[in-house]
Structure 1
């Protein structure tokens, strides 16, 4: 959970961006959600575990009680779900909402990721946040602020949760502005993690056209998106081509596993061309899109892979090509971020979510460098490298790191061959050269 900072009152700056068409789309989306409300399942991530609940009349169960365990008598909890018909607007609104909540609500409140979905129904997932107001005082402050926000034309569905009576362990959910009240009860975990049915072309992009379409839709509100579009190849240049003349070897792995040293050594020994993904031409906008929600961030890195592929085609008629990260990184981080909880929540091995994009060049060999987490952190500290947000999350969250590593291993087209990077740089180089000789006949 995240602890709120001190209270600061504000108003959302989103209304001015909306058009009449978007408002109508949002209304349709909201009405569809309301019509399905009694069938929807809700989930809250609590201390690394996902708790599922729904509306019903059965006993609530201990799992639901865990959500309210620290809530005092007469205090409430709240949920905010972001509902809109526009995928990009919804993603940006939800992404910024967290910072607004952290800045505005009282310090006694706790914030947890939340979502709502229809089990087994594709694209039914709605993201939001669960607010645990531990005391009556923080409940009052939170409720006043949320009611101010609901006066704006924003895509928010707000619920409050409270005990049925003083001596009851039953909690009820009240949907604001729609006069719906229900008891909440435990729900069984779905067969698949709810995000699984929403990953395609939202978190992981499987075609050039799908990733480019995201940038085309936001070019009018993000000037940098228009600049990225100008760099992209035309559709005809992205179509799958015949195999390259020389081998294409990808080096994957977390930061500080020795990729930079190894790629340089391979370039020198093999007389190869060294490329990186995202490509250098994307560098001016990388920090900008790292601050955007996942759908934009993932589309940015996916497009970087396609530009790198064009660079590969230009070089492989002359030399072997070594690539520092490629599609495996893009997909592994996206899947591991979207799917919360333990490794068993990941899509099963062989899932279509691990397939290689049909229009993206396939490498001859992918080597995944692995390293003990403590040794990796020591190396990062020794070289004083500034971590990305996701790399920082790897250090703080062991479960997230395990999801990333397992997602790497499950991606096919080709699969990664793991190499222990704890040995000396020369030993690792020789081991990888043996793989290249066996797999690429170099």
Structure 2
């Protein structure tokens, strides 16, 4: 079990003050020694709402009501998973977050209920906590009780419940409750005000992307999957394949060309045409030796799923090294795809919330075999959806998200554009197959000196 950090837990509940044991005018300050915490919730339209808690008895100058809290009679509930540091703790926390997500999705869907993503973080790179905010416009009587039962069952003891309540003057107050055993009730810990805050310069998740979503080396990804071998038998099989690969494989004398892009941008058609035109070997990511485990790891939380895909890149690198000694190599997706989707998934909100240009998360891992050129195929969203519908293929969870959320798609596309060393070279894939092939061959000729 993970040690509990002395932070303000973030299970949020909005209800009338009349139901509370202590009135707001008797509010207690945050317990001495508890570090400052901030919160960000992703509301409708991918807008981010930032707020914090303060123990000041004086009414704060900033009285703006955080938009993620519903007016009465609505209620809002949320909770975060305790922060973790070591690989073992991070795997535990990630699976716990996933379990809570699944349990919430299994609850009966009431009219007017929404579940929002929630982050809790501290200043100066303090540990990030992930959770959920549940909005109920018309709350059911047993909602609070069922959430308390869920917290007692899933979170490390003692679980905490934070109650956010509206006073008569319209201000929001926070009451922290410690949940005892099922038969012991709960204990009031402290009360604080709730105030809106300005958006930070850098999205709070940006500081935590490396080696939790985008892995900077084989070893950092390996440590995550090593902690999963007792939980996911296939993790051991993946690690066995990694162990059979040569360390730091070197590219052969022939060029390596990677084709990137969202689904339905023409990658399959182009890679096959390049294979025939250049008499090249065609490889795909992830390679066939691990493809049978994709669905298993796609159902795991981001930390584990991204570690799996990061390691498949290193397995693919050994194949690239071997084949590039004999002929040119075409690769259908590689590291850039793994990183772009991870960044877009982990950074909530819109494109402007992405890590800035030249952030380390966009840099190619130093221990991964590097291609000679990376081509990024692009088409308009309307054309891409038309092609997807025409294919009639089953979509992955991320492809479904791409279609449903234009902000997610924009973040993926922009993350591709920000990749460095090597950068992605965009090619408009709207023209005919022949024209696209001609444009790509021209880039290859100029950069790889192959033709």
| Range moving further from structure 2, 427-436 or 52-61 | 52-61
- SS in structure 2 at match of 1:67: coil
Q: CA deviation at 1:187?
A: 1.1
Q: CA deviation at 1:106?
A: 5.8
Alignment of 1:324-363 (within 5 A): 324-363=332-371
Task: Give the TM-score normalised by structure 1.
Answer: 0.88
The 2-side partners of 1:269 and 1:36 are apart by 67
Pick from 100, 108, 114 the counterpart of residue 103 of structure 2: 100
Q: 1:334 to 1:159 in 2, by over 3 A?
A: same
The 2-side partners of 1:32 and 1:239 are apart by 45
The 2-side partners of 1:26 and 1:435 are apart by 54
Q: Is the aligned partner of 1:26 residue 2:3?
A: yes
RMSD (Å) for aligned C-alpha atoms: 1.9
Contact 1:81 1:157 in 2 (8 A): no
Alignment of 1:248-397 (within 5 A): 248-397=256-405
Higher helix share: 1
Aligned residues: 408
Q: Is the aligned partner of 1:429 residue 2:428?
A: no
Contact 1:172 1:184 in 2 (8 A): yes
| Range moving further from structure 2, 280-289 or 34-43 | 34-43
Unmatched 5+ stretches in structure 2: 10-30, 179-187
The 1-side partners of 2:196 and 2:222 are apart by 41
- SS in structure 1 at match of 2:243: coil
Q: CA deviation at 1:150?
A: 3.7
**Residues 322-381 of structure 1: CA deviation (Å, up to 9, x unaligned):** 000000000000011111112111111111111110000110000000001111111111
Contact 2:249 2:318 in 1 (8 A): no
Unmatched 5+ stretches in structure 1: 1-22
Q: 1:150 to 1:269 in 2, by over 3 A?
A: closer
Q: 1:244 to 1:288 in 2, by over 3 A?
A: same
Q: 1:311 to 1:100 in 2, by over 3 A?
A: same
2:47 aligned partner: 49
1:170 aligned partner: 171
- SS in structure 2 at match of 1:183: strand
Q: CA deviation at 1:105?
A: 5.5
Q: CA deviation at 1:399?
A: 0.9
Q: CA deviation at 1:36?
A: 6.4
- SS in structure 1 at match of 2:293: helix
Q: CA deviation at 1:169?
A: 1.7
The 2-side partners of 1:323 and 1:295 are apart by 25
Contact 1:263 1:274 in 2 (8 A): yes
1:200 aligned partner: 210
Q: Is the aligned partner of 1:39 residue 2:39?
A: no
Q: 1:35 to 1:440 in 2, by over 3 A?
A: farther
The 2-side partners of 1:337 and 1:144 are apart by 31
2:76 aligned partner: 77
Task: Give the TM-score normalised by structure 2.
Answer: 0.86
